């Protein structure tokens, strides 16, 4: 099992309920592929550096997960087909950092 940090950029057009459903779809996908959710963090609606699919903003959600690296391609393939997911990033890490992240602490100050 490998440690990964995942950031999902989710469509800003979703309602709160649909946003939660999109996150639940990801966690179910993770479990279906022998993965384990360690922690998650909601970074809220944020500006994107450049337009993606004509969106200037996206909901950012950060996950710390464990999963076999061999299942990563399958998850990416499914995420590419999900229109609610604008972009995603998987980063393999040795160990997970403690949450909350620095970004989350900055959000809480506002």
Task: Give 17-73 pLDDT, tens digit per residue.
Answer: 999 999 999 999 999 999 999 999 999 999 998 888 889 999 999 999 999 989 999
Spans of all domains in the chain: 2-109
Report whether pLDDT(97) > 90: no
Residue 12, pLDDT score? 93
Residue 66 and residue 46: Cα distance in Å, rounded? 26
Residue 38 and residue 20: Cα distance in Å, rounded? 17
Confidence band for 95, pLDDT divided at 50, 70 and 90: confident
Query: Do 57 and 48 form a contact (C-beta atoms < 8 A)?
Result: yes
Residues in the chain: 110
Residue 59 and residue 109: Cα distance in Å, rounded? 18
Residue 10, pLDDT score? 94
Name the architecture of domain 2-109: 2-Layer Sandwich (3.30)
Neighbours of 6 (CB within 10 A): 21
């Amino acid at each position: 099992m490998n440690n990964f940090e995942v950031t999902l950029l989710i469509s800003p057009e979703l309602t709160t309920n649909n946003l939660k459903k999109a996150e639940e779809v990801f966690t179910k996908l993770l479990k279906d592929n022998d993965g384990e959710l360690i922690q998650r963090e909601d970074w809220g609606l944020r500006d994107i550096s450049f337009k993606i699919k004509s969106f200037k903003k996206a909901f950012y959600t950060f996950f710390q997960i464990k999963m076999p690296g061999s299942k990563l391609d399958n998850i990416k393939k499914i995420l590419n087909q999900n229109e609610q997911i604008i972009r995603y990033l998987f980063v393999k890490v040795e160990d997970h950092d403690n949450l909350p992240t620095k970004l989350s602490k900055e959000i809480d100050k506002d």
